[in-house]
Amino acid sequence: MDKLERLYSLHSLFDGRRSAVPLAEIRERLECSPATAKRAIREVRTLLGAPLVYDTSLGGYRYAPEEGERCFELPGLWLKAEELAALVTLREVLARLEPGLLNKVLAPLARRLEDLLARRSLGLSEVARRVRVISQHARAPGASFAPVARAVLSRRRLAFSYTRRTDGQSGERRVSPQRLTRYRGCWYLDAWCHDRKALRSFALERVAGARVLPDRALDRSETEMEAHYADAYGIFAGLATSTAVLRVAPRRARWVADEAWHPRQSGAFGDDGSYELRIPYGRADELIMDILRLGSDVEVVAPATLRGEVAERLRTAAAIYDGGARGARRAAASRGAGRAGAKNTGQRVRK
């Protein structure tokens, strides 16, 4: 029995009891020596702040809460040491990922955690210094997070102004929120858009003036949600219409094989140590960005359209680094040859 378990076991012995508990009964409950039982009594007083007193008239220990208090309640949560450490670690992760975002909601819990952390004998005082979180390319969700979250949980409709990142155009939207999604360090609202009559995802940092409406939100089925959001690749998935076939060079194969690109991906190692990865996708934009990060260590085998788009991006990037008209001419010539090659590759794939 670890320390926290011993303290909570002792608390349960006194909780709601009118009579005093003799030391012998405490020893029996904790299955310990007199010295250990007395140490546990001291720790209940010092670590948990319990009003535990020895009543000489009753010949035992009992809770004596202050006047006006009905009973003593445990501070914090009913957790073992390792569970508390996991919760505190999660708090650190949330605080570093979203500074200030959850302060109001988690403030009472955070105070209890801080109180427990301050008690060095629990061995948790190092958590804040020993947990490191690095968040790249994250975007703050903005002021709309609170009303959006409230609408999602209360199942009410939302109205807001949304500015598209592609062209900067703004427009009013009325939606039935379905769920909040955190994806690659950013928050999105998955919702049924009443204006478009379809499921859409909205980046929260582009949402302004969110208002919770009194109308009940229209719920979409889990089957429909999964088919739309989990079928194809990326946050703006939609339905999968193609399957990308990627061949990863041996030196990067083991890393890519361990990565989760999509729930329905499949892959296999080749005899030469390369790795062939198959990914269902609809819109190619996000998939292309992830392919490009592998540079020369990946080749798009199929489909021909995706292969051509990736090749075009690489030629354009190469022209920038080549510089000047010479590089531009070379890129133009390469594009022409590339289109012909993509066409031939597409024919081979279809065969």
CATH number at residue 215: 2.30.30
* Cα 67 to Cα 52: distance, rounded to the nearest angstrom: 14
Residue 66 to residues 17, 48, 70, Cα–Cα distance (Å): 16, 15, 8
Residue 194 falls within a domain, yes or no?
yes
Tokens of 245: 């076939």
Residue 135 falls within a domain, yes or no?
no
Which residue, among 235, 218, 101, has the nearest Cα to 151 in the 3D structure? 218
Whether residues 250 and 332 fall in one domain: yes
Whether residues 313 and 339 fall in one domain: yes
* Cα 317 to Cα 314: distance, rounded to the nearest angstrom: 5
Residue 136 falls within a domain, yes or no?
no
> What percent of the chain has pLDDT above 70?
68
pLDDT of residue 350: 43
Whether residues 255 and 278 fall in one domain: yes
Residue 139 falls within a domain, yes or no?
no
Residue 237 C-beta-side C-alpha neighbours within 13 Å: 24
Whether residues 345 and 246 fall in one domain: yes
pLDDT of residue 264: 84
pLDDT digits (tens, 9 = 90+) for 126-163: 555 666 666 666 677 778 888 898 899 899 999 999 99
Domain end point (choices 221, 251, 271): 221
* Cα 175 to Cα 164: distance, rounded to the nearest angstrom: 16
Residue 226 falls within a domain, yes or no?
no
Does 341 or 313 have the greater pLDDT score? 313
Domain count, the chain: 4
Domain end point (choices 192, 221, 250): 221
Whether residues 326 and 272 fall in one domain: yes
Under 8 Å between Cβ of 63 and 72? yes
Whether residues 286 and 313 fall in one domain: yes
Residue 236 falls within a domain, yes or no?
no
pLDDT digits (tens, 9 = 90+) for 292-308: 999 999 999 999 999 99
Residue 277 has pLDDT above 90, yes or no: yes
Q: Containing H/E element for 247?
A: strand 242-248
Whether residues 255 and 308 fall in one domain: yes
Whether residues 316 and 216 fall in one domain: no
pLDDT of residue 284: 84
Under 8 Å between Cβ of 55 and 14? no
Crossing angle of the two packed helices 324-350 and 304-322, in degrees rounded to 10: 170
Whether residues 151 and 249 fall in one domain: no
Whether residues 100 and 196 fall in one domain: no
Under 8 Å between Cβ of 87 and 113? yes
pLDDT of residue 15: 80
Residue 209 to residues 115, 205, 241, Cα–Cα distance (Å): 37, 11, 35
Residue 73 falls within a domain, yes or no?
no
* Cα 54 to Cα 63: distance, rounded to the nearest angstrom: 9
Beta bridge partners of 190: 179, 201
Whether residues 318 and 343 fall in one domain: yes
Q: What is the 3-state secondary structure (H, E, C) of 26-39?
A: HHHHHCCCHHHHHH
Domain that holds residue 201: 145-221
Does 105 or 262 have the greater pLDDT score? 262
Whether residues 259 and 326 fall in one domain: yes
Tokens of 109: 């819990």
Crossing angle of the two packed helices 285-292 and 304-322, in degrees rounded to 10: 50
Residue 103 falls within a domain, yes or no?
yes
Domain end point (choices 12, 36, 63): 63
Under 8 Å between Cβ of 193 and 235? no
